[in-house]
Amino acid sequence: MKFCSGSRRLNDEGGILVRDKKMTKLSFITSNPDKYREMKAFFEENELELDWTRVSLPELQADTLEEVVIHSLSQFNGDSVFVEDAGVFIDALGGFPGVYSRYVYDTVGNEGILKLMEGVENRSARFEAVIGFKPLDGGDIKLFKGVVKGFVSLSPKGGKGFGYDPIFTPEGFKKTFGEDERVKSMVSHRKRAAEKLLQYLKRNL
């Protein structure tokens, strides 16, 4: 891992420089700028600097998010890097789209999912995210999973977030992730997986 020192200030380009305090620098491998934005905000709140390795990872025909993450991470030789894969699992559709969420979203979008759910009373669903982290010491890949339960809305709501956010309402809340990014930043599957990675780093740095 890389370390740099210092209290934070903005440079001329608006980026963050760090002085007087050590900060661990990780590298997040993703082609998705929205995922990077969410991860960057979380880790900077916890004084870890996040680099972005912008690489488009190929779609893998797999049964689980864990398989996808392990395969993706195996393509990289560096350490202190992590990847993340996520999906929405809808109970009434037998867990579909699940591991194929990105492909399904790119193909039919939220409207296609809502079409499949027309007339369906059971709208329970969950978001799952799995992070795979390759440690500095070259040890085994570590996996961290985050889950948030909720339900599929009757129509898209809100223009915030990305992907399935406008049609997913988390348990205990009335607004979709697409309506309220504040709620998403508190309870999302991605944050919950990132929190587990953070705890691992604190124990093992």
pLDDT of the residue at 69: 95
Is 34 among the catalytic positions? Answer: no
* Of residues 77 and 115, more confidently modeled: 115
Closest to 85 measured CA to CA, from 135, 133, 13: 133
pLDDT of the residue at 25: 74
Contact yes or no for 132/72 (Cβ under 8 A) = yes
Structure tokens at 153: 């809305």
**The pLDDT of residue 15 is above 70:** no
* Of residues 47 and 162, more confidently modeled: 162
**The pLDDT of residue 2 is above 70:** no
CB neighbour list of residue 37: distance below 8 Å, 6 or more residues apart: none
pLDDT of the residue at 26: 87
pLDDT of the residue at 55: 87
Rounded to an integer, the average pLDDT of 69-96 is 92
Residue 4, H or E segment: strand 2-4
Q: Among residues 12, 34, 85, 137, which one is catalytic?
A: 85
CA-to-CA separations, 188 to 6, 10, 116, 184, in angstroms, rounded: 30, 28, 24, 5
- Give the Cα separation of 72 and 96 in Å (integer): 22
pLDDT of the residue at 24: 60
Q: Per residue in 114-164, pLDDT tens?
A: 999 999 999 999 999 999 998 877 778 999 999 999 999 999 999 999 999
Contact yes or no for 26/80 (Cβ under 8 A) = yes
Angle at the Cα of 180 from the Cα atoms of 45 and 195, rounded to 5 degrees: 35
**The pLDDT of residue 173 is above 70:** yes
**The pLDDT of residue 50 is above 50:** yes
Reply yes or no on domain 2-204 having CATH 3.40.50.1110: no
Where do we find the tokens 């969420």?
101
**Domain ranges (residues) in the chain:** 2-204
